[in-house]
Amino acid sequence: MNIRVRQGDSFWYYSQLFHVPLPLIIDANESVNPSALQVDQVVRIPGYYIDFYRIQPGDTFWSISTRLGFNFDMLQLVNPTLNPLSLQIGQRINVPVRVQGPIVHGKRDYDYAALQHDIRQLIEIYPFIKSRVIGHSVMGKEIIELQIGQGDKKVHMNGSFHAHEWITTPILMQTINDYLLALTNRLPIRGLQMEPYFQSVTLSIVPMVNPDGVDLVVNGAPDEEPYRSEVLAINNGNTEFSGWKANIRGVDLNNQYPALWEKEAARKPQQPAPRDFPGFSPLTEPEAIAMAELTRESQFDCVLAYHTQGKVFFWGFEGSEPPEAAAKATEFAKVSGYRPVQYVDSYAGYKDWFIQEWQKPGFTMELGRGVNPLPISQFDEIYQENLGIFLASLYT
Ligand SMILES: [Zn+2]
């Protein structure tokens, strides 16, 4: 919510008044100099929105704020032009409301529109989130990166490289919503306070690498040409796309990386297909290129690429993984019950390339167990398993 600065106000005072950690307020107002606040300047307060209240007989600012459970001065701040001594019955005033629960409800069919909607809502309530477009899909959809935190340690997570593994997107979105809520309201998650991680970690999340593919699986073939005709042709005219893994033009985005790509390409489909075709050469697809460029410029310390399924994760590549990857793998296994696997007969994946290029810890997490796309009924179980991994990625 937005408020206007008064004479004598400070970010520190807002932090005390609204019970919101000071670093979040500073980060939510990057264009504002905290030590030179100007009267009437607009400041964003995370974790609140403005609602309305109609004055009843006998109401005063005091009685309203006591009844609604917040400080008297909060009412003054959100009603700057109102004289508290001349309230009229029936008059509409602003009241600040603290967001106490999740905004993202991930346990549902979750397409690109759902993602966009939830990102807008999260940024509205938690304006310290940084959001940017890192590229566009084949069909021109924005591929969005969210950043949370100010720390030197850079942890990256991504979801839905594979279309029919789209449940990874709402899992990530609901997890970061819980992180944002815990940060802002100073609530522990599994006994851990989150504020230290906001200071020590910069979290980068690309919740949906393959939006065209996800929409294809969730909603069916697009109306737009030539994509509709092309995708139907690749699928042999079949209008059922629930098993589709690739991007909209039949390239498997997680087979696109120059990490023994030729070895993978030799044994995979040689032309566009619903799954496994690695492209005619590495990094031909805009979604894969966007992720490569983001990764090159960001210099992540650790990456987690979310897939389904198997309750297993992969953490090595050709001996290039550093010693600390083993320690992280042990912790991830402990908190999730998932089985760590160092090497697997698979190449040209995002995490393979990341480990090869930077010799830093990279993981492919295979959430849940069953046939892709996993039924949404697994959501709560996967969520709990992954929450441990999420926390461990911050503290290990
Ligand atoms: Zn996958």
pLDDT at 378 over 90: yes
pTM: 0.96
Q: 197 CA to middle of ligand 1, Å?
A: 29
Specify the pLDDT at position 146.
98
For residues 78 and 1, give the distance between their C-alpha atoms in angstroms, rounded to a whole number: 9
Specify the pLDDT at position 70.
86
Q: Residue 200: CB partners within 8 Å, gap ≥ 6?
A: 149, 151, 152, 153, 394
* Cα torsion through 171, 211, 367, 300, rounded to 10: -90
Q: Percent of the chain beyond pLDDT 70?
A: 100
Specify the pairing of strand 312-314 against strand 339-341. Answer: parallel
- The answer to whether the beta carbons of residues 194 and 183 sit under 8 Å apart is yes
Cis before 226 (ω within 30): yes
Specify the pLDDT at position 276.
97
Q: 115 CA to middle of ligand 1, Å?
A: 19
- Average pLDDT value over all residues in the chain: 97
Specify the pLDDT at position 291.
99
Q: 347 CA to middle of ligand 1, Å?
A: 13
- The answer to whether the beta carbons of residues 106 and 174 sit under 8 Å apart is yes
pLDDT band for position 189 (cuts 50, 70, 90)? very high
* Cα torsion through 27, 32, 33, 38, rounded to 10: -140
For residues 256 and 287, give the distance between their C-alpha atoms in angstroms, rounded to a whole number: 10
Q: Which residue has the higher pLDDT, 247 or 86?
A: 247
- The answer to whether the beta carbons of residues 115 and 160 sit under 8 Å apart is no
Tell me whether residue 165 is one of the annotated catalytic residues.
no
Q: 346 CA to middle of ligand 1, Å?
A: 12
Quick: pLDDT tens for 69-127: 889 899 999 999 999 889 999 999 999 999 999 999 999 999 999 999 999 999 999 99
Q: Residue 233: CB partners within 8 Å, gap ≥ 6?
A: none
- Flag the least confident range among 57-66, 264-273, 357-366: 57-66
pLDDT at 25 over 90: yes
**Catalytic option among 145, 285, 287, 366:** 366
Q: 345 CA to middle of ligand 1, Å?
A: 14
- The answer to whether the beta carbons of residues 207 and 144 sit under 8 Å apart is yes
Specify the pLDDT at position 73.
94
- The answer to whether the beta carbons of residues 209 and 161 sit under 8 Å apart is yes
Angle between helices 168-185 and 112-125 (to 10 degrees): 10
- The answer to whether the beta carbons of residues 351 and 295 sit under 8 Å apart is no
- Mean pLDDT (whole number) for 172-191: 98
Q: 213 CA to middle of ligand 1, Å?
A: 12
For residues 148 and 119, give the distance between their C-alpha atoms in angstroms, rounded to a whole number: 13
CA 211 to chain centre: 14
Q: 308 CA to middle of ligand 1, Å?
A: 6
Q: Name the DSSP letter for residue 188.
A: -
The burial of 132, by beta-carbon neighbours within 10 Å (0-12 exposed, 13-18 middle, 19 or more buried), is given as exposed
DSSP string across 27-92: HHTTTS-TTS--TT-EEE-TTEEEEEEEPPTT--HHHHHHHHTS-HHHHHHH-TT--GGG--TT-E
Cis before 373 (ω within 30): yes
Angle between helices 379-395 and 168-185 (to 10 degrees): 60
Quick: pLDDT tens for 307-349: 999 999 999 999 999 999 999 999 999 999 999 999 999 999 9
Q: 309 CA to middle of ligand 1, Å?
A: 8
Quick: pLDDT tens for 201-236: 999 999 999 999 999 999 999 999 999 999 999 999
- The backbone torsions φ and ψ at residue 42, rounded to the nearest 5 degrees and listed phi first, read -85, 130
For residues 169 and 158, give the distance between their C-alpha atoms in angstroms, rounded to a whole number: 8
**Catalytic option among 112, 126, 347, 383:** 347
Put the strands of the sheet holding 153-158 in their side by side order. Answer: 130-136, 142-148, 201-206, 153-158, 302-308, 362-367, 312-314, 339-341
Q: How long is the chain?
A: 396
Tell me whether residue 366 is one of the annotated catalytic residues.
yes
